[in-house]
Amino acid sequence: MSEIVKRLMETRLRAWNEAKELADRAADEKRAFTGEEDQKWDALNTEINTCDERIKDVLDQEKRAEEASALLNRGDKREGSPNPGAQPTVSDELRAWAKGERGRHFDVHPSGPVDMRALSKLTAPAGGSVVPQGFYNKLMAHLIENSAILRAGVTVLNTASGETIPVPKTTAHSTASLTPEAGTIGTTEPQFGSVNLGAYKYGTKIQTSTELLTDSGVDLEGYLSMQAGRALGNAFGVHAIVGTGSSQPRGVVTDATLGVTGATGITGGFGSQTTAGQGADYVISLFHSVIAPYRQSASCNWLMSDGTAAVLRKLKDNTGQYIWQPALVAGDPDLLLSKPVIIDPNVAPVGLGGKSLIFGDFSQYFVRLAGGIRFERSDDFAFDQDLVTFRALMRADASLVDLTGAIKYFQGGAT
């Protein structure tokens, strides 16, 4: 770990401890935050979130530097290399296409099964060193960064084409009962339906100068993967959370099951820690509303917005311990009741009727990606500005396939 990351982790821990002292003081005095304390709390949470972003940026930069160094050490010469017999790499083909030397289209497909959970790892000890670094994987990594639900361990189906595929959907499990000797064994069967996963189209346009394309020193692969991945991830990310399923993917919240409802008259929030059944008790109740087999899944996570995280960081259990545990290793997620926290701005904030806290086994949420990512280039679209326009197209769909309570949510109370 670099000195910069160490200092950022120290700053993050200091801000967390200050916020903890602030919450402890108010709890000990059995009162709500004053206006000044509220401002301080918000500032400390902003500092924690800023540190998280900086740590991620630094780790990404260090990783890119390591990759560049590895390429140089291997003697992997790119364009202009005096090695005419070498097999062209995907990067070489991409640069040739971007410069207009290989036609209009450039399709990018996974070279094999792609594990979204592995792609989300930031550090080598956490598994980042085993992630292949091809162009498709870099693009998908940026897409995952901007569609946080893909970091939650969803199941990803990669298909070569985009025809509709039916996926079994579980609506009820079979049950068993105590049966006396020679008694009749009751018959129950699991209830199934099906969900059709199609291929909704997402697209973005990226423009760049001809100078950028002809400069062999530019990381064109990194530039295009970042711009396209972020744009497509932002567009898909909204639907992956709250999509209706009508002319768009079906969001995870749309089909998740109600786990806990907040009390009325508390503006839809988590209430007071001093009131039985409120505060941390809501979170603990939501945790145990998801049955053990789902909770024990490696893909069991919390999903929430930054604003909800700021609220939950204040909560303690009935022994006085905070239910939120900050990460101690750079790149690792914070934990809530020992389960990883995923932050996604598309989740509803704490409020009346808002489904602000999601918990469960996200492997039961299926994301279908059809046909890879299609790139197209045009020299004519912005001809008068001497710009080359790239268009990136992705086809995707998604749906929750287990409706028996694999994923549940907390919903704020009514007025």
Quick one: pLDDT at residue 101?
66
Quick one: pLDDT at residue 81?
45
Q: Where are the alpha helices (DSSP H) in 208-278?
A: 210-214, 220-242, 252-255
Please provide residue 84's backbone torsions phi and psi, each rounded to the nearest 5 degrees.
-60, -20
Q: Which two tokens stand for residue 293?
A: 């087999």
Question: For 272-300, what is each residue's pLDDT tens digit?
Answer: 777 777 889 999 999 999 999 999 999 99
Quick one: pLDDT at residue 356?
94
pTM above threshold 0.75: no
Alpha carbons within 13 angstroms on the beta-carbon side of residue 171 total 6
Pairing of strands 387-400, 105-108: unpaired
> Residue 270: which residues within 8 A CB-CB, separation 6 or more?
262, 278, 279, 280, 282, 283, 311, 312, 315, 350
Beta carbons of 220 and 95 less than 8 angstroms apart: yes
Beta carbons of 285 and 260 less than 8 angstroms apart: yes
Tokens 């997402």, residue located: 202
Question: For 152-169, what is each residue's pLDDT tens digit?
Answer: 889 988 888 888 888 888
CA 127 to chain centre: 17
Helix, strand, or coil (residue 295): helix
Quick one: pLDDT at residue 67?
58
Quick one: pLDDT at residue 232?
92
**Cα–Cα distance measured from residue 121 to residue 100, given in angstroms and rounded to the nearest whole number:** 34
Residues facing residue 75 across a β-bridge: none
| Low-confidence residues of the chain: pLDDT under 70 | 1, 64-91, 99, 101-105, 109-134, 172-179, 182-192, 216-218, 265, 267-268, 415
